[in-house]
Protein backbone atom coordinates (compact mmCIF):
# COMPACT_ATOMS: atom_id res chain seq x y z
CA UNK A 1 0.00 0.00 0.00
CA UNK A 2 2.83 2.37 0.82
CA UNK A 3 4.43 1.76 -2.57
CA UNK A 4 1.19 2.70 -4.40
CA UNK A 5 0.98 6.05 -2.64
CA UNK A 6 4.63 6.72 -3.34
CA UNK A 7 4.19 5.70 -6.98
CA UNK A 8 1.16 7.97 -7.41
CA UNK A 9 3.04 10.83 -5.83
CA UNK A 10 5.99 10.25 -8.15
CA UNK A 11 3.68 10.39 -11.17
CA UNK A 12 2.10 13.61 -9.95
CA UNK A 13 5.48 15.18 -9.29
CA UNK A 14 6.70 14.09 -12.70
CA UNK A 15 3.70 15.71 -14.41
CA UNK A 16 4.11 18.86 -12.36
CA UNK A 17 7.76 19.15 -13.30
CA UNK A 18 7.08 18.85 -17.03
CA UNK A 19 4.37 21.53 -17.12
CA UNK A 20 5.73 24.99 -17.86
CA UNK A 21 4.40 27.88 -15.76
CA UNK A 22 2.22 30.45 -17.52
CA UNK A 23 3.88 33.76 -18.33
CA UNK A 24 2.99 36.69 -16.07
CA UNK A 25 1.09 38.49 -18.87
CA UNK A 26 -1.21 35.56 -19.55
CA UNK A 27 -2.39 35.22 -15.95
CA UNK A 28 -4.02 38.62 -15.54
CA UNK A 29 -6.21 39.49 -18.52
CA UNK A 30 -8.78 41.54 -16.57
CA UNK A 31 -9.66 45.02 -17.74
CA UNK A 32 -8.49 47.54 -15.17
CA UNK A 33 -9.41 51.20 -15.07
CA UNK A 34 -7.04 53.86 -13.79
CA UNK A 35 -7.88 57.23 -12.33
CA UNK A 36 -5.45 59.50 -10.51
CA UNK A 37 -2.85 56.79 -9.99
CA UNK A 38 -5.27 54.20 -8.56
CA UNK A 39 -6.54 51.10 -10.33
CA UNK A 40 -10.16 49.89 -10.28
CA UNK A 41 -11.66 46.60 -11.47
CA UNK A 42 -14.90 48.12 -12.75
CA UNK A 43 -15.79 51.23 -14.70
CA UNK A 44 -18.46 52.15 -12.14
CA UNK A 45 -15.95 52.24 -9.29
CA UNK A 46 -13.64 54.38 -11.40
CA UNK A 47 -16.44 56.83 -12.21
CA UNK A 48 -17.43 57.05 -8.53
CA UNK A 49 -13.84 57.89 -7.60
CA UNK A 50 -13.74 60.51 -10.34
CA UNK A 51 -16.96 62.14 -9.09
CA UNK A 52 -15.61 62.19 -5.54
CA UNK A 53 -12.38 63.82 -6.74
CA UNK A 54 -14.40 66.49 -8.57
CA UNK A 55 -16.46 67.26 -5.44
CA UNK A 56 -13.37 67.36 -3.26
CA UNK A 57 -11.65 69.64 -5.76
CA UNK A 58 -14.61 72.03 -5.76
CA UNK A 59 -14.63 72.25 -1.97
CA UNK A 60 -10.87 72.80 -1.72
CA UNK A 61 -10.89 75.34 -4.57
CA UNK A 62 -13.72 77.37 -3.04
CA UNK A 63 -12.19 77.36 0.42
CA UNK A 64 -8.73 78.29 -0.80
CA UNK A 65 -9.88 81.08 -3.09
CA UNK A 66 -12.39 82.49 -0.59
CA UNK A 67 -9.98 82.52 2.34
CA UNK A 68 -7.16 83.88 0.20
CA UNK A 69 -9.23 86.73 -1.13
CA UNK A 70 -10.58 87.57 2.35
CA UNK A 71 -7.04 87.72 3.72
CA UNK A 72 -6.04 90.05 0.91
CA UNK A 73 -8.80 92.50 1.86
CA UNK A 74 -11.77 91.65 -0.36
CA UNK A 75 -15.27 92.40 0.93
CA UNK A 76 -17.90 89.66 1.39
CA UNK A 77 -19.31 89.88 -2.15
CA UNK A 78 -15.93 89.81 -3.83
CA UNK A 79 -14.78 86.91 -1.64
CA UNK A 80 -17.92 84.94 -2.57
CA UNK A 81 -17.42 85.64 -6.26
CA UNK A 82 -13.77 84.57 -6.12
CA UNK A 83 -14.72 81.45 -4.10
CA UNK A 84 -17.19 80.50 -6.85
CA UNK A 85 -14.44 80.79 -9.43
CA UNK A 86 -12.15 78.72 -7.24
CA UNK A 87 -14.86 76.05 -6.93
CA UNK A 88 -15.20 75.88 -10.71
CA UNK A 89 -11.46 75.57 -11.23
CA UNK A 90 -11.15 72.97 -8.46
CA UNK A 91 -13.99 70.94 -9.94
CA UNK A 92 -12.39 70.90 -13.38
CA UNK A 93 -9.00 69.96 -11.97
CA UNK A 94 -10.56 67.19 -9.89
CA UNK A 95 -12.12 65.47 -12.88
CA UNK A 96 -9.33 66.12 -15.37
CA UNK A 97 -8.21 62.49 -15.43
CA UNK A 98 -10.18 59.94 -17.44
CA UNK A 99 -11.15 56.42 -16.49
Residues paired with residue 38 on neighbouring β-strands, in sequence order: 35
Whether the Cβ atoms of residue 35 and residue 57 lie closer than 8 Å to each other: no
Q: What is the pLDDT of residues 76-90, one digit of tens each?
A: 999 999 999 999 999
Give dist(CA 75, CA 67) in Å, integer.
11
Tell me what pLDDT residue 30 has.
Answer: 75
pLDDT above 60 (res 10): no
For the whole model, what pTM was predicted? 0.60
User: In this predicted structure, what is the pLDDT of residue 64?
Assistant: 93
- What are the domain boundaries of the chain? 43-99
Name every residue whose Cβ is closer than 8 Å to that of residue 36 and which is 6 or more positions away in sequence: 49, 50, 53, 97
Say if residue 94's pLDDT is above 60. Answer: yes
Amino acid sequence: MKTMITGAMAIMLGLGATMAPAPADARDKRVRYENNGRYYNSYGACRAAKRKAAKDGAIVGAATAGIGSALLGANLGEAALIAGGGALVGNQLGKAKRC
